[in-house]
Structure 1
Amino acid sequence: MRQIVLDTETTGLDPASGDRVIEVAAIELFNFVPTGGTFHKLVDPERDIPAEATRVHGFTADMLRGKPRFADIADELLDFLGEAEIVAHNAPFDFGFLDAELARAGRPTLDRGRMVDSLDIAKRRYPGLPNSLDALCRRLGVDNSMRTSHNALLDVKLLAEVFLALMGGKQPGLELASGPARRGGAAAAEEAPIIRTPRPIVPSEEELAAHAAFVAKKLKEAVWLQPPFAEPPEPAS
């Protein structure tokens, strides 16, 4: 299963009032394991950035002037997203902004059936508790000490760790596979599967007798010696 963990930064809170996306970051997961695939772009919003927004994410209009416009990165973003589920914290916010930008660029909007809201998952798991990204990092033991502002690239890395913890995700290297490891390329196809020969442990007659004596001495009415577990007595000859 392929999923994309995504985060955006914007000039404000409402795309309907003209606010724009200024940063998009995404990380690829496969079967709840990060693959190393990433997408990250800074975007020229083609407008000013209010001071209150700058205080949140640290970006000014001057810093982003000359960066690609969203229309310039739209196709690359859609290619990276593919048909995967898209995980975001307060996902309707990110989907709303991306849909507005995609529509402005003449591209198809995102299917809401692909949306996975990690905030909704956290609220169901921890009802009544704070479920911001910072709160979840503290609760789930994810190190967010470097997070001094809302930066999409950092936030999406933290969110991926939080999401995997929320979902009981697997850690790389702990998967059991019946064939070659998923590494991609010709090398993976040429790898032979690991075959392990069963090595059954069969007790000797002496060991069985010693165990029976121990049970008879230490345990009274052992469950496995009582009907219906006990073997029926052999018929008399």
Structure 2
Amino acid sequence: MRQIVLDTETTGINPKLGNRIIEIGCVELNNRMLTGNNFHVYINPERDSEEGALNVHGLTTEFLSDKPKFHQIVDDLRAYIQGAEVIIHNAPFDLGFLNHEFKLLNLPDFSSHIGGVIDTLVHAKELHPGKRNSLDALCDRYGVSNSHRKLHGALLDAELLADVYLSMTRGQNSLGMDAEEEVVSGAELLEPVPLADIIFLPATEDELAAHAATLAGLDKAVKGQCIWTATTTPPAAA
């Protein structure tokens, strides 16, 4: 089975605000074996990165200025990922950006070119409920060395994630006796509030979508869960 471990770097956290992809890194697995047939490109987004994103990836506008634009690499990307199962950490973030880039070029969604998606963040939460499940935390948990990771890079992160994924899916590697503290539910921290005089205005679908996109971006920036997601996700059933 052909699988592609994929990661992106972007100018910000929300493509609907004009943010773009600036780096794509992919690592190929064939029957759970690394093949060395990787895909890696830097992309000129034709805009500056937001300060927070720049602090994460360090890819300056000057560095990206002579790199190809997305429309110049999209055919190679489509050929590379065609029909493969794609493995991503916090998949909604990367897929949101990739689908947006394809839409700008009037192409079918990125998702329509692949054979399925595995979200390692979802898988990690199922295996380690209440624990830190960022890429760095998973590297520590599974003994994957990331000491050379000073800034986020799409290819480096895809390589680390490939090692983490293979370790996660090899079988249970411990008796689950980790001493990490469980995340406290946000509901446990709140005092009861009288509701009699409160008027509830439900969010619109657009507002909910924008909120979800922002949270996915924050989760992506920390390669795991931001504090809002961590404190509002219901605890896993015993």
Q: TM-score, normalised to structure 2's length?
A: 0.69
For 1:28 and 1:154, locate their aligned partners in 2 and report how far apart those are by CA, in whole Å.
13
Which residue in the other structure is 1:136 paired with? 138
What corresponds to 1:105 in structure 2? 105
CA contact (8 A) 2:10 2:23 kept: yes
Amino acid corresponding to residue 123 of structure 2 in structure 1: I
SS at match of 1:25: strand
- Which position in structure 2 is the counterpart of 1:69? 69
CA contact (8 A) 1:57 1:150 kept: yes
AA aligned to 2:134 is S
Letter in 1 for 2:169: M
* Other-structure match for 2:51: 51
The alignment status of 1:22 with 2:22, answered yes or no, reads: yes
CA offsets per residue over residues 124-155 of structure 1, 9 Å max, x none?
Answer: 00111000000000000000000111111111
AA in 1 matched with 2:12: G
Q: Distance in 2 between matches of 1:92 and 1:18?
A: 17
Deviations 1:50-108 (A, max 9, x none): 22211100111111001000111001001000101110000111000000011112222
Q: 2:149 maps to what in 1?
A: 147
Is the counterpart of residue 85 in structure 1 residue 76 in structure 2?
no
Equivalent residues of 1:8, 1:23 under 8 A apart: yes
Displacement of 1:34: 0.9
Q: Which amino acid aligns with 1:7?
A: D
Q: Distance between the aligned counterparts of 1:96 and 1:75, measured in 2?
A: 19
Cα distance, 1:32 vs structure 2 = 1.1
> 67-76 or 45-54, which moves further after superposition?
45-54
The residue aligned with 1:6 is 6
Matched to 1:45, the amino acid is: P
2:123 aligns to what? 121
Q: CA deviation at 1:111?
A: 2.8
Identity of matched residues, %: 50
Structure showing greater relative contact order (alpha-carbon pairs closer than 8 Å, 6 or more residues apart): 2
Question: Unpaired runs of 5+ in structure 2?
Answer: 172-238
Q: 1:45 is paired with a residue of what secondary structure?
A: coil
Segments of structure 1 that go 5 or more residues without pairing to the other structure are 170-237
Residue 26 of structure 1 aligns to a residue whose secondary structure is strand
Aligned with 2:22: secondary structure? Answer: strand
Shift of 1:42: 0.1
Shift of residue 115, structure 1, vs aligned partner: 1.5
Deviation string for 1:18-75 (max 9, x for gaps)? 1100000001111111111100000000111122211100111111001000111001
Partner SS state of residue 79, structure 1: helix
The structure with the largest alpha-carbon Rg is 1
Work out the number of aligned pairs and report it: 169
Q: What letter is aligned with 2:23? A: E
Q: Secondary structure at the match of 1:159?
A: helix
Q: What is the root-mean-square deviation of aligned Cα atoms in Å?
A: 1.2
Residue identity opposite 2:51 in structure 1: A
Q: Hey, what's the Cα distance between the residues in 2 that align with 1:118 and 1:46?
A: 31
Aligned residue number for residue 41 of structure 1: 41
